[in-house]
Each structure stands twice: as C-alpha cells, then as structure tokens.
Amino acid sequence: MMMQKPTLATTLFAVLLLIPSSLALKEGQTCVADKNCDSGLHCETCVANGNVRPRCTRVQPINPTSKIKGLPFNRYSWLTTHNSFAILGKKSMTGSVILSPTNQQDTITSQLNNGVRGLMLDMYDFQNDIWLCHSFGGQCYNYTAFQPAINVLKEIQVFLDANPSEIVTIFIEDYVTSPKA
C-alpha cells in the first residue's frame, strides 16, 4: 500500500488543531479568564498575599480519608476557610455596605464545590435573629452583619443533600446571648 503525501491543506489543518492547546497558559502565568488557562487551571488572584495580578492556578484539595483510612476524625486535616461567610464585594442583607473585613472571594457553595470541608462561622444576636457578623466591640451592626446564619446553614444542607458521602465541619464562634437562640 502506498502512502500519500500530505497536502498543504492537510498540514495546515493539523497545525491549526495544535495551536489552541499550545497557546493555553501554564500554571503561574498571567491570565485574564479561565479560558486562557491550560486544562485543570483557573484564572485567579490572591489578594491576601498582595498579588492582585491574576494567574493560572491549580486548586485541587484532596479528601484526606482517601490517602489514609481508619484514623479518628481529629487526626485528619481538612481544607477550612476562616470567616467563610465574609465574601469580598457582598453587601449586607440589611442593604448596608459592609465596612468590616472580608476573608473570602467565593460563596459558601463555591467553597464547598472547590473542596473546602471546614467552615468557620461567627454567630451573633442581630435583628431578633442569629446573624453571621464581624463585630465591633462585641456588637453586630448593619455595616458588620453579612446575613442570617440560617441562610448559610441551608446552603450547606443543599450541598450535603447533593453529596451525601461528604463531610463538612462547621466551626461556630458563638457570641449569641439571647435565651431563645
């Protein structure tokens, strides 16, 4: 059987197929959107370390029980977020602009979908309910209250209903003083 010599059109087609994958940005390279990054990478910034330039990053936490089985719960390390509710750019559900510090860029659902399995929540009395809040002097105000705690707890419940084999630990900093709470 005789092999045919590739035509110019066939060669150009093959080269064009290779270009998009070779132009995808690698881990650590500056990006504009997720689509600019190579497979499995996301375009993100890390404001916490002062790096505001978006870069292609890989975030793939593993379930610690997938590596070693049979340990007591407190012997595993779980990816946990501090002030999980304090999301950058969110307004308070009171309508006020939040003046207290923010710690996260992702919603609770996004954090859980990205592998976070520990959520730290600060709970306070506010507006005759229990709210997630950064307090000033132990008090919750319109400009420090993010949302009622029940909203986040329901969000976690939706995730667990959809992922019944997952474990989510909730660390509650309980500043609630009302007797009915």
Q: In the chain, where are the structural domains located?
A: 8-60, 61-181
pLDDT at residue 115 greater than cutoff 80? yes
Look at residue 22 and tell me whether its pLDDT is greater than 60. Answer: no
Name the average pLDDT for the chain. Answer: 84
Residues 6+ apart with CB under 8 A from 106: 87, 114
pLDDT at 17: 47
pLDDT, position 170: 97
* 115 closest CA partner among 38, 57, 60, 155: 60
- Amino acid at the residue 103: N
Q: How many percent of the chain have pLDDT more than 70?
A: 85
SS3 per-residue string spanning 66-126: HCCCCCCHHHCCCCEECCCCCECCCCCCCCCCCCCCCCECCCHHHHHHCCCCEEEEEEEEE
Predicted pLDDT of residue 168: 95
Q: Global pTM? A: 0.68
Ramachandran category for residue 167: left, alpha or beta (phi over 0 → left; psi -120 to 50 → alpha): beta
Does 21 score more than 60 pLDDT?
A: no
Tell me the backbone φ, ψ of residue 175, rounded to 5 degrees.
-110, 15
10 Å Cβ neighbour count for 12?
11
Reported as a pLDDT band with limits 50, 70 and 90, residue 123 is very high
Q: What is the architecture, at CATH level 2, of domain 8-60?
A: Irregular (4.10)
Q: Which of 50-59, 60-69, 140-149 has the lowest mean pLDDT?
A: 60-69
What digits encode the pLDDT tens for the residues 126-144?
Answer: 999 999 998 888 899 999 9
